[in-house]
Each structure stands twice: as C-alpha cells, then as structure tokens.
Amino acid sequence: MDLFLVAGLGNPGEEYAHTPHNLGFLVVDELAQRHGIRVSRKDSQALIGLGEIDGHRVMLAQPQTFMNLSGNSVRALMEKHEIGLDGLVVVYDELDLPWGALKIKPKGSAAGHNGMQSVIEKLGTQNIVRVRLGIHPGHQLASGKDFLLSPLRRGQRKELDEFVGCAADAVRSIIAEGVEKAMTKFNRRAPGLPTEEA
C-alpha cells in the first residue's frame, strides 16, 4: 500500500502557534486528532506521525526547519520513505486569497509563498498537489510579513475551527477520492465574495 505524505507548513515554536502563517500546522493537528495519529516523532527535521486515513497509509508531517526551508525536510522525508510525487499533499496559508477561501491545486507556482517555493525548488517540479488556505483579512496591509507572524484576530479565531476542519476534510478527500474530485467538492468562494478565486 502506497504511503501519502501530508506536509503542513508553518514555523516551530509557541510564539508562532496561532499565527496565519501556521495554518498548515493546524490542519495537520486536526487530521491527527480525527484519525488517532500522534505527530510526535522526529524524522528528517520534522515532527511526523504514521497512521491511516480511509484505509490509506498516511504520514502527517510538520517541518521544523522554519518556513523558508520547508523543502529540505519534505524532500528528505520523501527520499527516506520512498514517497512519490503522487503521494505528496502540501497544506499552507495563502496571502493572495481572502480569509476563508480554500483552493486545491494539482500544480503551479508558489505565488510568492516562501515555504512552497522551497518545496518546489528542492523537489525540482511545480507538479505538487497543494491545499491553499486564504488568510488575507480584506484590508490593506502595512506589512505582509508582520501580519503573517502576528496572532490571529478575535474574529478569525472564532471562524478558525470551521476553516481548519474544512481543510482537513479537503485533505481527506484528496487521499480517498483523488485530487480532481476533491477540487470539485472543495474549491469554493470565500464568504461574501461574488466570484470564485483564481
């Protein structure tokens, strides 16, 4: 049975735990809780846990390299555990999308996301299935970096559980049904937006 690797991107450390830039980690935590997987073992500069989702063997991973070097850990895990590109799902925050939007893509550029850029560079391809989670608050930002690394606002925290839960559902759908079906089910508009995000 092939092994899936679900890599949620973020920054290690308590000070980053509830920032927009750590949505990938939060989705891995949610998947771990739902499917009884302990993400606690150190392997290839990541915290990992092994288990099953809908009958498929899965490794959940949170790279501990800090965001900009995420690709080092992801590539090392794939090489060590002989995981193919078709078994990789990367989950991360996306400042280009509004808060609450969820977009599954089978390939494409990093669109300015340093963690995804690192993964693309280390794997040498853009053909990587990813779940992008919109975090733009809807107003102009003085500093994107400051926003990414600041605690989530109260209104966002209220919506966070539902958002992270939906992202976990999307990852499960990719694993169980394939990326095309998952895209049809989960690529959705953010609340209040008239058109689907590109």
Sign of CA dihedral 164, 56, 130, 21: positive
CB atoms within 10 A of CB 180: 11
Q: Which residue is listed with tokens 């990992």?
A: 48
Report whether 131 contacts 179 (CB < 8 A): no
CA-based R_g, the chain, Å = 15
Whether 21 sits among the annotated catalytic residues: the reply is yes
Among 8, 17, 9, CA closest to 149: 17
CB atoms within 10 A of CB 168: 24
Instruction: Tell me the residue type at 194.
Output: P
Pick the catalytic residue: 21, 35, 81, 136?
Answer: 21
Q: Would you name the residues annotated as active-site residues?
A: 21
